[in-house]
Structure 1
């Protein structure tokens, strides 16, 4: 979805993720964290910020989602996270980035 390759990725268990936890920028093992301009977003807010950073329909979807209160969006996010394997299936192996996307990973 990130055709312009504006997003960068790091594992929460990697050097960057662990250092952000030590600094108190993120708390615990959030499943998704989005960082932009020194601000950190988690759960539904992170998803909305990620969608907004993309072009086209994704930006429109993020604007529509941001209308809803975040406590409701976080509840829906948590439900999807809890039942994600039932909804989307489970892979037998982890994703390994190819050469064409390796530069997008920070650590």
Structure 2
């Protein structure tokens, strides 16, 4: 079984128990006026299948993933900046940081990722989307 993403959309996989990650997803939803993105937690069956298909270790993954159909997936800082390109307002301007070396961008990303539970907290379970947002989440 492979992960099928609806045509014209991109899938964001995120840590469903991380408060920072959930806040980021809520932010993206509110700034994604074209409804380009769909969402699934890394802990979901879709998230687990994606990781399995690519031989990625779920326990070692502390990154948001952006999956574009028929394109390679992005993770860490590249995923965040690629997502910003599609948000309304001035957020697409953040993509200028793609000119910085990936190793530098990911070094900063890794500091936040390593400390995200300590700084922002963690839930026992993945957040359940409200009924009006449920259609944006691929695995319920």
TM-score by length of 2: 0.64
Instruction: Determine the structure 1 residue equivalent to 2:19.
Output: none
Are 1:90 and 2:121 counterparts? yes
Change (3 A) 1:60 1:99: same
Instruction: Determine the structure 1 residue equivalent to 2:82.
Output: 49
Question: Which deviations, in whole Å up to 9, do the C-alpha atoms of 1:44-70 show, x marking residues without a partner?
Answer: 1111111112233111112x2111110
Are 1:9 and 2:39 counterparts? yes
Instruction: Determine the structure 2 residue equivalent to 1:72.
Output: 104
- Unmatched tracts of structure 1, length 5 or more: none
- The number of residues matched between the two structures is 104
- Unmatched tracts of structure 2, length 5 or more: 1-30
The alignment's C-alpha RMSD in Å is 2.1
TM-score by length of 1: 0.81
How is 1:3-42 mapped onto 2 (pairs within 5 angstroms)? Answer: 3-24=33-54, 27-29=56-58, 30=61, 31-38=63-70, 39-42=72-75
Instruction: Determine the structure 1 residue equivalent to 2:23.
Output: none
- 1:10 Cα deviation from its structure 2 partner: 0.9
| Relative contact order higher in (CA < 8 Å, ≥ 6 apart) | 2
Inter-partner Cα distance in structure 2 for 1:15 and 1:65: 33
Question: Which deviations, in whole Å up to 9, do the C-alpha atoms of 1:21-43 show, x marking residues without a partner?
Answer: 2221x622333110113321111
